[in-house]
Amino acid sequence: MAVLSKTTIAHLAEHLENAELQAFDVTKITDDYPDMDWEDAYDIQYEIRRRKEARGHQTIGLKMGLTSYAKMKQMGVDVPVYAFLSDYFSVPDGGEINMAALIHPKVEAEIAIITNQPLHGPGCTVAQVLAATEAVVPAVEVIDSRYRDFKFDLKSVVADNASSARFVTGGKLKRADQVDMKTLGVVMEINGRVVATGAGAAVLGHPAASVAMLANMLAERGEHIPAGTFIMTGGITAAVEVKAGDSVRVRYQDLGEVSIRFV
């Protein structure tokens, strides 16, 4: 049951979206609205999405966040969070990201999938996700929480579109039957130095489990994952801070590599 009024939801959405668009930080919204619930948090996120779409931006995908068991335990929750990707979040492989447009960005290596059939929860399984996977592609997410010094709780994060800011995809495309997403290794390098490594199982045991959970969470709002959806499944590596001048390259087992530079 939502507790915030429609006016408050609209106000908080505008507040958080302005912080994103103008690159300034804010304090976490639960400081002022301690009673807000999960439904309120997603209502704010959906209002931000509506605002962008109303200005002509297309929503081009979905993402999962907080998909590591260690991080969930640390935050005291047992489900991950989801958010949407707007068209202008996409940066071409090898492209540049202007630090001035962001607050305090961090990068995470992820595995993304593109579906070719709709996925409906509740009860969506890993098997159904694999059967509905048209392609597996590498993706690097740039997260940029709008909250000062990354001080937040989970509801504040959900309202803030799960810190979504930019992403880059590229490398090689594989079918689900050509890769083992669970053991697929990733190596993140900044300025040629390895800063993090991991494998797909860091994401809820299997990246497809993350997508199944997304379908099941969307079902709670009466929604589903349509065919043709690009989904970033969640961070395999820890989020790593970047600064102007950094060149980030992520190498993937069997999926090539993607890179971006921060200027």
Partner 1 sequence: MLSTAQIQSYAEELYQALRQREMVEPLSNRTPDMTVEDAYAVSSGLLERRMQRDGETVIGKKIGVTSKAVMTMLGVHQPDFGYLTDAMVVDESESLSLSTKMIQPKAEGEIAFVLKQDLIGPGVTATDVLRATDFVVPCFEIVDSRIKDWQIKIQDTVSDNASCGYFLLGSQAADPRQLDLSTVGMVVELNGQVISTGAGAAALGSSPVSCVVWLANTLGKFGVPLKAGEVILSGSLVPLQTVKPGDYMSVSIGGIGRTAVRFD
At its nearest, how many Å lie between partner 1 and the CB of residue 115? 23
Q: Which is nearer to partner 1, 53 or 180 (CB)?
A: 180
At its nearest, how many Å lie between partner 1 and the CB of residue 197? 4
Q: Which is nearer to partner 1, 95 or 185 (CB)?
A: 185
Residues 127-186 that bind partner 1 (CB under 8 A): 180, 182-186
Site membership for partner 1, residue 95 (CB under 8 A): no
Per DSSP bridges, beta strands 59-65 and 81-86 are antiparallel
Per DSSP bridges, beta strands 106-115 and 193-199 are unpaired
Site membership for partner 1, residue 55 (CB under 8 A): no
Number of residues that bind partner 1 (CB under 8 A): 22
Q: Which is nearer to partner 1, 167 or 252 (CB)?
A: 252
Q: Which is nearer to partner 1, 54 or 70 (CB)?
A: 70
Helix axes 6-22, 38-54, angle to 10 degrees: 60
State the amino acid at position 150 in one-letter form. F
Site membership for partner 1, residue 259 (CB under 8 A): no
Site membership for partner 1, residue 251 (CB under 8 A): yes
CA gap 10, 17 in Å, rounded: 10
Q: What is the DSSP string of 102-155?
A: -SS-EEEEEEEEEESS-B--SS--HHHHHHTEEEEEEEEEEE--SBGGG---HH
Site membership for partner 1, residue 253 (CB under 8 A): yes
Q: What is the helix (H) or strand (E) element at residue 18, kind and residue range?
A: helix 6-22
Q: Give me the 222-241 binding string for partner 1, x by CB under 8 A, dash otherwise.
A: --------------x-----
Question: 90 - beta bridge partners?
Answer: 167
Q: Give me the 180-219 binding string for partner 1, x by CB under 8 A, dash otherwise.
A: x-xxxxxx-----xx--xxxxxx--x--------------
Of 114, 59, 108, whose CA–CA distance to 260 is shortest? 108
Calculate the CA 258 to chain-centre distance.
17
State the amino acid at position 142 in one-letter form. V
CA gap 70, 57 in Å, rounded: 35
At its nearest, how many Å lie between partner 1 and the CB of residue 176? 15
Half-sphere exposure (Cβ direction) of 198: Cα atoms closer than 13 Å: 24
113-121, 213-221, 226-234, 251-259 -> range binding partner 1 (CB under 8 A): 251-259
Q: Which is nearer to partner 1, 95 or 205 (CB)?
A: 205
Q: Which is nearer to partner 1, 157 or 239 (CB)?
A: 239
Residues that bind partner 1 (CB under 8 A): 69, 180, 182-187, 193-194, 197-202, 205, 236, 251-254
